[in-house]
Structure 1
Amino acid sequence: MTPLAGIKVLDLTRVLAGPYCTALLADLGADVIKLEPPRGDDYRHIGPFQQGESALFTLNNRGKKSISLNLKSPEGLALAQEIAAGCDVVVENFRPGVAEKIGLGADVLRKAKPGLIYCSVSGFGQTGPFRDLPAYDLVVQAMSGLMAATGEAGGAPLKTGESVADLVGGLFGSWAIMAALVQKARTGQGATLDVAMYDALYSMLTTSHALHFYADKTPERVGNRHPLSTPFGCFETADGQVVIAVLTPAQFARLSTLIGQPGLPDETRFATDEARTENEPELRSLIEDWSKGLNTEAAMVALAEAQLPSAPIWGIAQASDSAHARARGLVQMLPHGVLGQAPVVPQPVQFDGVKLMTYSPAPGLGADAAEILQAFCSVDAARFEDLKKAGVVA
């Protein structure tokens, strides 16, 4: 099954949000043509490196073909426009206005092909007073409300450990493109999509929205515990920490019995989830009187036997190498011309029991130029050599 088989995507993106978006499309069978400047995507030059190959580029550009054109050349721009005319989707993540300035904006390309789906992914979107602000992931995390609600109680705001604004922007980009493809299949109508990392990340702050809009409260930093439910966080053990996530009255009753305090649900201070949250320090102390007497493994066994949601805190190596990760196929190996085998993490959804993914690695810079130009622009071998000599094709 390849849901996007036959869909051609021109990928004008670089770094993370856009490439992540188009990698997800490639996993589902889309033919993604990555158009790069002569120097290549910025991520080709960002480490960590293995045998000169960027890990970040390798991970986020799987399944694509590469062509490198000099868009400052009229002939290079004309070729790019011709390729776009042969595609179903164009994705770009330039600063707002740049695509239009160089001749690859939605107005130009959709005038030539009204059914085109044109997706722009940017920090703050194509409209609004913030549209021209430089927007890396950290900037969006800082301004969205996420950092203000993240961190230890009484401590400074913290970013998350991953570039979530970039990734969420890319994820919503792929989501919007597929919705637009459904619309096009029904009506023949194309679409111009404006995806802002800021909007995308802000839309996912559900707990902060609940506190701000419905409880008239400012979300506070509470460390690793849940701001609304208790006990729901990390608890010390004799040799580390264990995560305990209790939400329902039945779960709390089982936990109370497990820690030797079966009467806790009958106490006013712990009778409801709201009351438990108000009295979190006292409840934490009672739970840790139990958990500190056990090592993490023993605590996990006891919690599992009581059918309570719980977990150890794993690093990426443990998460990647677990039997469950292997059974679910979270990490896949692709053949790679330089590395031999390159680990990648494909899209996570199973379709009828099958993990869909691309089986081709990230491309070398301009590696597929001749094939792409022949297919989209009828460029033969002789003209291709002339384009290389003229510096139009890098």
Structure 2
Amino acid sequence: MSGPLSHIRVLDLSRILAGPWASQTLGDLGAEIIKIERPQVGDDTRQWGPPYIKDEDGNDTRDAAYYMSANRNKRSVAIDMAAPDGQALIRDLVAHCDVVIENFKVGGLKKYGLDYDSLKKIKPDLVYCSITGFGQTGPYANRAGYDFLIQGMGGLMSVTGQPGNGPEAGPVKVGVALSDVMTGLYAVIGVQAALAHRDRTGEGQHVDLALLDVQVATLANQAMNYLASGNAPGLMGNAHPNIVPYQAFATSDGHMILAVGNDNQFAKFCKVAGMAELAEDERFTTNASRVKYRDELVPILRERIVKDELDWWISQLETAHVPCGPINTIDRVFADPQVQARDMKVELDHPVAGKVPSVGSPLKFSNSPVEYRNAPPVLAADTKDVLKSVLSLSEDDITKLAERGIVQQ
């Protein structure tokens, strides 16, 4: 391995999405990821299908596409964490690792001796990252947290959805578990920062990440709009609270996103639309005035844009350097030449399926590129190898553990 984190070994005790997303990203960057799973069952998301990946004969395997989305570049080791001997094995592995990632409920690992306070006695410079719904402290600390719940509690759904009182009005969740994904990315940042601190001081530490904290932090300009004005923003559909026109519009045969970011772009759009005089109207000359008179401007634009086809608008506006684009379905996303040119779909070797698709990493390095070493592993694929290579257990030792149900090989 030659990635920028190829000197780092991570013990991944997490499952579902936020934790696995973090460890997959660290694995993409070269870290060795040892994923601890329950024997015979594994990560819950292995069963979160259909769809499942197909074997080479076209039959469903045991692994769902959901699991495959967040578990490449890992080694699967199946250990019974509920058994004292399983806990001892995990503690032995911790002594050989730089990072632990877990997403159990607050205090959930203490009874196993796998909490931070217990493990730092084994490895004082350990970086231990906990991911929970609400964090290690506060009145909600003991609650379970799920992405959908956090999107609501964290304010994202209050600014996502259609305004009004019609049947389609109201808050809507984002179509991806975005709170989980963003928390996974913040976990990567936190782990790398803690490792940098360790490199300078020799000190490990506990990184405490909460989905709710991350969701609040990533409200970005919407949060600051409220903090600056005292007015809570509400539902605006596809419109933008601070920029006009910056929303979706219907064309004669589809939908287009028009993303005018400054007054010059608005003037260019008006020229393409054959309405150059609109850019001279004092109500619309500046973005601030367009925001103020949004309700007057947007109907004018809708009436004009719907008269021409999507491809015409895209072609004309791109030539005029006005930001715009189609609303693609996901099949069209992966057919897009730009997405293909950036290698955002990759094929990985898999012992059961032969080849499996995977979404490429967005990280592009000039000197230490992302490596796709292996597809998400089948359950327990690496138990024997890791216990032998890391803990120096013999074949006989591992066989006896497997016979007792402590490990699966």
TM-score range, shorter chain: over 0.9
| In structure 2, C-alpha distance between the alignment counterparts of 1:227 and 1:294, rounded to whole Å | 27
1:124 counterpart residue number: 134
| In structure 2, C-alpha distance between the alignment counterparts of 1:79 and 1:335, rounded to whole Å | 30
1:22-41 → structure 2 map (5 Å cutoff): 22-38=23-39, 39-41=41-43
* SS of 1:218 mapped into structure 2: coil
Structure 1 residue 285: deviation in Å?
2.3
* SS of 2:390 mapped into structure 1: helix
- Is the 8 Å Cα contact of residues 3 and 368 (structure 2) preserved in structure 1? no
2:18 counterpart residue number: 17
1:50-65 → structure 2 map (5 Å cutoff): 50=53, 51-52=60-61, 53-65=63-75
The one-letter code sitting in structure 1 at the alignment partner of 2:52 is F
1:44 counterpart residue number: 46
> Alignment partner for residue 91 of structure 2, among 81, 90, 105?
81
- Is the 8 Å Cα contact of residues 235 and 284 (structure 1) preserved in structure 2? no
- Is the 8 Å Cα contact of residues 3 and 369 (structure 2) preserved in structure 1? no
| In structure 2, C-alpha distance between the alignment counterparts of 1:289 and 1:11, rounded to whole Å | 54
* SS of 2:266 mapped into structure 1: helix
Describe the superposition over 1:344-381 as per-residue Cα deviations: whole angstroms up to 9, x where unpaired.
Answer: 12321111177513221111111111111112322101
> Alignment partner for residue 281 of structure 2, among 238, 242, 267?
267
> Alignment partner for residue 186 of structure 1, among 186, 200, 207?
200
| In structure 1, C-alpha distance between the alignment counterparts of 2:380 and 2:305, rounded to whole Å | 57
Structure 1 residue 40: deviation in Å?
0.9
Q: Normalising by structure 2, what TM-score?
A: 0.93
Name whichever of 182-191 and 92-101 sits farther off. 182-191
| In structure 2, C-alpha distance between the alignment counterparts of 1:371 and 1:319, rounded to whole Å | 39
Structure 1 residue 233: deviation in Å?
0.5
- Is the 8 Å Cα contact of residues 9 and 91 (structure 1) preserved in structure 2? yes
Structure 1 residue 145: deviation in Å?
0.5
The one-letter code sitting in structure 2 at the alignment partner of 1:136 is Y
- Is the 8 Å Cα contact of residues 28 and 358 (structure 1) preserved in structure 2? no
1:358-373 → structure 2 map (5 Å cutoff): 358-373=372-387
| In structure 2, C-alpha distance between the alignment counterparts of 1:359 and 1:301, rounded to whole Å | 40
User: Could you list the runs of 5+ residues in structure 2 that have no partner in the other structure?
Assistant: 54-59
> Alignment partner for residue 163 of structure 1, among 177, 194, 200?
177
Describe the superposition over 1:64-98 as per-residue Cα deviations: whole angstroms up to 9, x where unpaired.
Answer: 11111112222111111000111000000011110
* SS of 2:374 mapped into structure 1: coil
The one-letter code sitting in structure 2 at the alignment partner of 1:194 is D
The one-letter code sitting in structure 1 at the alignment partner of 2:297 is L
1:279 counterpart residue number: 293
Structure 1 residue 286: deviation in Å?
2.1
- Is the 8 Å Cα contact of residues 61 and 363 (structure 1) preserved in structure 2? yes
- Is the 8 Å Cα contact of residues 82 and 376 (structure 1) preserved in structure 2? no
Structure 1 residue 255: deviation in Å?
1.5
- Is the 8 Å Cα contact of residues 76 and 383 (structure 2) preserved in structure 1? yes
| In structure 1, C-alpha distance between the alignment counterparts of 2:241 and 2:280, rounded to whole Å | 23
1:330 counterpart residue number: 344
| In structure 2, C-alpha distance between the alignment counterparts of 1:251 and 1:321, rounded to whole Å | 28
The one-letter code sitting in structure 1 at the alignment partner of 2:116 is A
2:146 counterpart residue number: 136
Does residue 1:146 correspond to 2:156, yes or no?
Answer: yes
Q: CA RMSD in A?
A: 1.4
- Is the 8 Å Cα contact of residues 29 and 358 (structure 1) preserved in structure 2? no
Q: Normalising by structure 1, what TM-score?
A: 0.97
* SS of 1:263 mapped into structure 2: helix
> Alignment partner for residue 216 of structure 2, among 193, 202, 217?
202
Structure 1 residue 318: deviation in Å?
0.8
The one-letter code sitting in structure 2 at the alignment partner of 1:33 is I
| In structure 1, C-alpha distance between the alignment counterparts of 2:32 and 2:319, rounded to whole Å | 48
The one-letter code sitting in structure 2 at the alignment partner of 1:13 is S
- Is the 8 Å Cα contact of residues 348 and 355 (structure 1) preserved in structure 2? no
- Is the 8 Å Cα contact of residues 25 and 174 (structure 1) preserved in structure 2? yes
- Is the 8 Å Cα contact of residues 346 and 357 (structure 1) preserved in structure 2? no
* SS of 1:79 mapped into structure 2: helix
| In structure 2, C-alpha distance between the alignment counterparts of 1:164 and 1:41, rounded to whole Å | 20
Structure 1 residue 384: deviation in Å?
0.9
Residue identity over aligned pairs, in percent, reads 35
The one-letter code sitting in structure 2 at the alignment partner of 1:312 is P
* SS of 2:296 mapped into structure 1: helix
| In structure 2, C-alpha distance between the alignment counterparts of 1:255 and 1:138, rounded to whole Å | 38
| In structure 2, C-alpha distance between the alignment counterparts of 1:217 and 1:355, rounded to whole Å | 45
Structure 1 residue 43: deviation in Å?
0.6
| In structure 2, C-alpha distance between the alignment counterparts of 1:239 and 1:176, rounded to whole Å | 46
The one-letter code sitting in structure 2 at the alignment partner of 1:135 is G
2:57 counterpart residue number: none
1:289-328 → structure 2 map (5 Å cutoff): 289-328=303-342
| In structure 2, C-alpha distance between the alignment counterparts of 1:355 and 1:382, rounded to whole Å | 39
* SS of 1:186 mapped into structure 2: helix
1:350 counterpart residue number: 364
User: Could you list the runs of 5+ residues in structure 1 that have no partner in the other structure?
Assistant: none
